[in-house]
Structure 1
């Protein structure tokens, strides 16, 4: 089971970028070759039927799509926040900062 919380500030920034488009928020994790290191990022994708490798996580703000095969790289309890200082999103868990300067690719 995975739990993702989106802070109010991050939700506002995401909704501002989303506008009135009918898109889903997706958490990407681009692994570098066969290594365990990678870079989490957010993106929007068209709403459609979920493919077999995707999971929809209900957050406190909006559904979040994550590829099931990428769950091994993520923590079971994460938070998405927005930093006014760096103007980027942050993905954290109680154990670590997964990405302190996460992009929202549009």
Structure 2
């Protein structure tokens, strides 16, 4: 699985200064109260690499200077190719694939653990 972070998303991530040394962007898939795993909502979480769940896998990320991970238990929900972008109008990140918009208003939060 691969993920591209657009130039605009990189600019926004750098401006927010949420990622510290050793941090990873984790694509979280929240399903609480939604019934089925495929109805979950994706968010971006900045976490320390050591706080990733044991089932996390790293994605082939472009640009390579960024690290993005996802939980192996839910990676089957996503297309093989993903894109993280930033929408200035909505002031939010977006998760897309070539076939669909997965989350047009994805939040970015910082957590000690996921």
Q: TM-score by structure 2 length?
A: 0.82
Structure 2 residue corresponding to 1:44, chosen from 43, 46, 62: 46
Whether the 8 Å contact between 2:53 and 2:71 is mirrored in structure 1 is: no
Match of 1:9 in 2: 8
RMSD, aligned α-carbons: 1.8
Describe the shift of the 1:6–1:18 C-alpha distance in structure 2 as closer, same or farther (beyond 3 A): same
| Secondary structure at 1:14 match in 2 | helix
**Structure that is richer in strand per residue:** 1
Match of 1:70 in 2: 74
The offset of 1:99, in angstroms, is 0.4
Number of matched pairs: 105
1:2-56 CA distance string (max 9 Å, x none): 1110001101111222356222111111123334211110011112175431101
Structure 2 residues without counterparts, runs of 5 or longer: none
Structure 1 residues without counterparts, runs of 5 or longer: none
| Matching of residue 87 in structure 1 with residue 91 in structure 2 | yes
